[in-house]
Amino acid sequence: MVVTTTVSDADEHLHCTFASRYARTSLPRFKMPEGSMPKEAAYQIVNDELMLDGNPRLNLASFVTTWMEPECDKLIMDSINKNYVDMDEYPVTTELQNRCVNMIAHLFHAPVGDDETAIGVGTVGSSEAIMLAGLAFKRKWEAKRKAQGKPYDKPNIVTGANVQVCWEKFARYFEVELKEVKLKEGYYVMDPVKAVEMVDENTICVAAILGSTLTGEFEDVKHLSELLTEKNKTTGWDTPIHVDAASGGFIAPFLFPELEWDFRLPLVKSINVSGHKYGLVYAGVGWVIWRSKEDLPEELVFHINYLGSDQPTFTLNFSKGSSQIIAQYYQFIRLGFEGYKSIMENCMENARLLREEIAKTGKFEIVSKDVGVPLVAFALKDGSRYTVFQISESLRRFGWIVPAYTMPPDAEHIAVLRVVIREDFSHSLAERFVSNIQKVLKELDELPPRVSTKAAHVTAVTDETQKDNADQPHLKKSAMETQKEIFNYWRRISDKKTSGVC
Amino acid sequence: MVLSKTTSQLDESVHSTFASRYVRHSLPRFTMPENSIPKEAAFQIINDELMLDGNPRLNLASFVTTWMEPECDKLIMDSINKNYVDMDEYPVTTELQNRCVNIIAHLFNAPLGDGEAAVGVGTVGSSEAIMLAGLAFKRKWQNKMKAKGKPYDKPNIVTGANVQVCWEKFARYFEVELKEVKLREGYYVMDPEKAVEMVDENTICVAAILGSTLNGEFEDVKRLNELLTEKNKTTGWDTSIHVDAASGGFIAPFIYPELEWDFRLPLVKSINVSGHKYGLVYAGIGWAIWRSKEDLPEELIFHINYLGTDQPTFTLNFSKGSSQVIAQYYQLIRLGHEGYKCIMENCQENAKVLKEGLEKTKRFNIVSKENGVPLVAFSLKDNSSHTEFEVSELLRRFGWIVPAYTMPPNAEHVTVLRVVIREDFSRTLAERLVSDIEKVLQELDNLPSRVRMKLAGSEETAGKHDDVVKKTINDVQKEITATWRKFAADRKKTKGVC
């Protein structure tokens, strides 16, 4: 267990870590070091470097959970050495996964009978879940086309341009064409009418998002379902729907229970949700649920025959930790329906507070909607003096990480700041954040605007030369061109961040 | 943060957990419960159910690490809330990943100049790493065939039948045909000659395994490279090699440094290794390394533009925990070359102790080789009265989990027991296992054989009618053998656990 020859120096263990020679040497970055070092030194070095990472709880960019109760932390640490895939060795952990799948399936109104088990699986995140769901659709569509004797080499999928990057990955890696419905200013989700228009006989499914990454909006899945049902009647193509409920799946059932977006709509065949977003678990768990057995082609499922039990598996990853699955089950039984509802209501309340305070500054336009994921996305009313990218940079000084993004096509001229309200973003933190934003605005107001100064310089030059009366139209063009150059230069520097962080 | 209305009854917080009403109710299994329960109760209930899981450290089936130093546990817990994919928010964590990639690439002798960054990525395990590597090969091959104006709709990959299940997954999910070189009794890895024979113009790559799951053997990658180079000269197909070094990648460089299996062989274009096996990290981390930029088609890489930095990413998973990457870096700098070497040597030594202990019982054939992953695979010399599956069952009573497997085609009649020697399997545990196995053998010897009893019964009734009876005995014997074979087959665990 403990390596016997780690200590090369006889009296090394006497030195406190920072007195030892390890604090003096630079660690190799490209090659493995030749000798071992004491574990205290290794711990200290790694720990100290990591101090320069951002503070996860002040990372307002991410939907992913950053705080859990200490009891759950203990469960996580106790199961950190359990390899989740060893179903035979860890039957209880496997059963906990199955219980979670059933609970989530029922939450989404899957048409399962009382004793029937739901069809679904735990994944590492929504990316894996989406790839599995997409694979199922692709395989079903191929089988249908083969039976009809039609070509099956050009599958496509219809989504909005606001999709998270994992859909693009799915399309590229599994060789499916991505047909994106473009956005427009003021409408930042997929338009159901346009989506249904784009559906053709090669469409394997239409993917709707419940909780768009950019503005937190819920797409109108019900309307999509109605339009698609009509089209299916005329064409006979039987195109299904997948709902990417990565964020919204654990919000809508508690806050908006009458909103029909899940298996209550007959065309919805699979849903994915991130356990590590509003499922309130640390990063590393997602869930995909199918409506029924028919929606998951048997050929994709691998059967591993263990002593006595047959366990079907359908995941991309094999060995992985069990901790997050156990943590998800903990949250389900610890909080229950009532608990999740209370937490979501708190988040909405804090989002509302933040939204009101930000609107009060008078400088921002609120881009996010009231109904949706609890987040606040806001754009500058007047972006000529300074940009949202500068605000984002300045907020970093206070410790806040607030990302600034430009929208995807066709609304790339809109840039927003986005604050995600997670469970652990309390009222007091919201107030502090608002006061910091006000400070930042004040500072930026007092700074001479970077663009205007340069433009002023340019006009000065042209004024002087104008007195010479030489080449007037030429000079005017120069000023314009230079201004354009400057705009472009600054836009390039404040690099875009469209679909990076989920 | 803390819910304000968790306790529905005022005096609830007074009860100790086992006095409260929560241990009296059965938890719902299919629907989410309506109400919340106190966190102590939730913890206790789950903790208690989990007591009935196997003990990870006594799970001798798995290669995956089950023990790390407490200092590392602390680092893991501190970073459990960091979402690894937030490269901009956690630049140090991202840099630690890059350092690990570079260190491992150098360990595998990737042809990199000084200061040149290696091409590779951290994954959730070897499954994801293999899928990424396979995708890269598939795309490169498709581009090559398109450029030649040839059809590119039927790609295939050549491997041995001893491959781990993730290769079958890759083949099925990414629509690549899997051409398997069958095994035979006594030869349980991929035969390089047969493999090269199977290569055709649609082969995207040949996958060799360093550390076969079943018996820990290293495949002869060097020979494969030589044969394939010759074939490539005549055909011009330029078929390359991928080495699945899931287990062997962190063993060979320390114990067999002269063994040429990695990027020293020119046809090897990518390698995967599991950080959570002999990389000595808990489950949840693997690494995929490419020889050079040319071996990873640019079109597969997504560029995420963050403020100021461009980070290329090529993974199937997006959000995931950072803990294992940090733990891997900790191990690499904490142990260094010397540390890993010592641990691997200890593992080999303990494997030897176990092997010799088993040989002394004179009841077992050792199926695993000396050179390879430190594990001992053994089968009963005489399995007519009792099978390896029974040995495995009885060992469970002592707490040991030792799996019994049948070999893949064409050696399905061979059944083995396998014990993997991990870092935390000390010599004392090895000696205890041997003595427990001896106890089990003694018990089995005293038990009447289940197969023999049935045969004896049928002999008595058959004595009366000769001809018909003879057929009947044969038939009955066949039936019984068939039933037991089916029973054993139903319980077989060929490629389940890696």
Give residue A210's pLDDT.
Answer: 95
Supply B352's token pair: 């030897």
Which residues touch A226 (CB under 8 Å, ≥6 apart)? none
Is B96 in Cβ contact with A502 (below 8 Å)?
no
Q: Are B240 and B304 in contact (CB under 8 A)?
A: no
| Buried-exposed string B67-82: b where 16+ CB fall within 10 A, e elsewhere | bbbebbbebbeebbbb
Q: Which residue of B has its CA nearest to A64?
A: B83
Is A336 in Cβ contact with B32 (below 8 Å)?
yes
B142 SS3 class:
helix
pLDDT tens digits, B396-428 = 999 998 988 887 777 788 888 999 999 999 999
**What's the gap between Cα B90 and its chain centre?**
30
Q: Are B59 and B67 in contact (CB under 8 A)?
A: no
Q: How many CB atoms lie within 10 A of CB B108?
A: 24
For testing contact with chain A, the best of B9, B17, B51, B53 (most A CBs within 10 A): B53
Provide the ipTM. Answer: 0.83
Which of A83, A135, A166 has the CB atom closest to B62's CB atom? A83
Amino acid symbol at B165: V
Amino acid symbol at B206: V
B365 bridge partner residues? B379
How far apart (Å, rounded) are the C-alpha atoms in residues B291 and B464? 74
Cβ contacts (< 8 Å) between B125 and chain A: which residues? 317-320
Helices then strands, each counted (H, E), chain A: 13, 13
Give residue B477's pLDDT.
Answer: 57
A295 φ, ψ to 5°? -85, 0
Domains of chain B (ranges; CATH) run 13-53 (no CATH), 74-335 (3.40.640.10), 362-493 (3.90.1150.160)
Q: Are B255 and B345 in contact (CB under 8 A)?
A: yes
Give residue B316's pLDDT.
Answer: 86
Give residue A465's pLDDT.
Answer: 38
Angle at B306 between CA B301 and CA B310, to 5 degrees: 45
Residue indicated by tokens 């030195």:
A15
Give residue A480's pLDDT.
Answer: 61
Is A321 in Cβ contact with B282 (below 8 Å)?
yes
- Residue B54 DSSP one-character state: P
Which residues touch A351 (CB under 8 Å, ≥6 apart)? A374, A375, A376, A421
How far apart (Å, rounded) are the C-alpha atoms in residues A123 and A316? 8
A276 by Cβ neighbours in 10 Å (0-12 / 13-18 / 19+) ranks as buried
Give residue B325's pLDDT.
Answer: 95
Percent of chain B with pLDDT over 90: 59
Q: Are B366 and B402 in contact (CB under 8 A)?
A: no
**C-alpha gyration radius of chain A:** 27
How far apart (Å, rounded) are the C-alpha atoms in residues A484 and A491? 10
Smallest Cα–Cα separation from B270: which of B243, B252, B248?
B243
Q: Are B325 and B84 in contact (CB under 8 A)?
A: yes
Q: Are A58 and A399 in contact (CB under 8 A)?
A: yes
Supply A250's token pair: 């654990």
Is B332 in Cβ contact with A62 (below 8 Å)?
no
Smallest Cα–Cα separation from B210: which of B124, B128, B272?
B272
Is this structure's pTM higher than 0.90?
no
How many CA atoms lie within 13 Å of A8's alpha carbon, on the beta-carbon side?
11
Give residue B306's pLDDT.
Answer: 44
Q: How many CB atoms lie within 10 A of CB A399?
A: 12
Is A502 in Cβ contact with B85 (below 8 Å)?
yes
pLDDT tens digits, A131-182 = 999 999 999 999 999 999 999 999 999 999 888 888 989 999 999 999 999 9
pLDDT tens digits, A295-313 = 999 988 887 654 435 667 7
A463 by Cβ neighbours in 10 Å (0-12 / 13-18 / 19+) ranks as exposed
* DSSP string of A199-224, one letter each residue: --TTEEEEEEEBS-TTT-BBP-HHHH
How far apart (Å, rounded) are the C-alpha atoms in residues A93 and A20? 43
Cβ contacts (< 8 Å) between B303 and chain A: which residues? none
Which of A42, A71, A318 has the CB atom closest to B330's CB atom? A42
Cβ contacts (< 8 Å) between A57 and chain B: which residues? 81
Give residue B411's pLDDT.
Answer: 79
Is the dihedral angle over the CA atoms A461, A462, A467, A469 positive or is it negative?
A: positive
Flag residues of chain A having pLDDT under 50.
1-10, 306-308, 452-477, 494-502
Residue indicated by tokens 């083969």:
A146
Which residues touch A379 (CB under 8 Å, ≥6 apart)? A364, A365, A367, A388, A414, A415, A416, A417
Q: How far apart are the first and last CA of chain A?
A: 40
* Min Cα–Cα distance to chain A from B435, Å: 22
Q: Are B326 and B334 in contact (CB under 8 A)?
A: no
How far apart (Å, rounded) are the C-alpha atoms in residues A21 and A36? 13
Local confidence pLDDT in tens for the 498 residues of chain B: 544 433 344 444 555 666 667 667 777 778 888 888 899 989 999 999 899 898 999 989 889 999 999 999 999 999 999 988 888 888 899 999 999 999 999 999 999 887 788 999 999 999 999 999 999 999 999 999 999 999 999 999 999 988 888 898 899 999 999 999 998 888 888 999 999 999 999 999 999 999 988 888 999 999 999 999 999 999 999 999 999 999 999 999 999 999 999 999 999 999 999 999 999 999 999 999 999 999 999 989 887 654 445 667 788 888 888 999 999 999 999 999 999 999 999 999 999 999 999 999 999 999 888 889 999 999 999 888 888 989 999 999 999 989 888 877 777 888 889 999 999 999 999 999 999 999 999 999 888 776 544 444 444 444 344 444 444 555 555 656 555 555 555 444 444 443
For testing contact with chain B, the best of A1, A77, A83 (most B CBs within 10 A): A83
Kindly provide the residue ranges of all beta strands, DSSP E only, lying in B245-294, ordered along the sequence: 268-274, 286-290
Q: How far apart are the first and last CA of chain B?
A: 40
Cα→Cα distances B436→A335, B128, B200, B354, B397, Å: 45, 38, 50, 12, 10
B180 SS3 class:
strand
Q: Are A165 and A285 in contact (CB under 8 A)?
A: no
Smallest Cα–Cα separation from B350: which of B60, B69, B55?
B60
Give residue A14's pLDDT.
Answer: 58
How far apart (Å, rounded) are the C-alpha atoms in residues B85 and A276? 13
Supply B310's token pair: 């461009």
Amino acid symbol at A331: Q
* Min Cα–Cα distance to chain A from B186, Å: 25
- Residue B284 DSSP one-character state: S
Which of B79, B401, B495 has the CB atom closest to A50's CB atom? B79
Q: How many CB atoms lie within 10 A of CB A254?
A: 18
Q: Is B238 left (phi over 0), alpha (psi -120 to 50) or beta?
A: left
Helices then strands, each counted (H, E), chain B: 13, 13
Q: Are B272 and B284 in contact (CB under 8 A)?
A: no
Smallest Cα–Cα separation from B374: which of B144, B152, B211?
B211
Cβ contacts (< 8 Å) between B36 and chain A: which residues? 334-336, 338-339
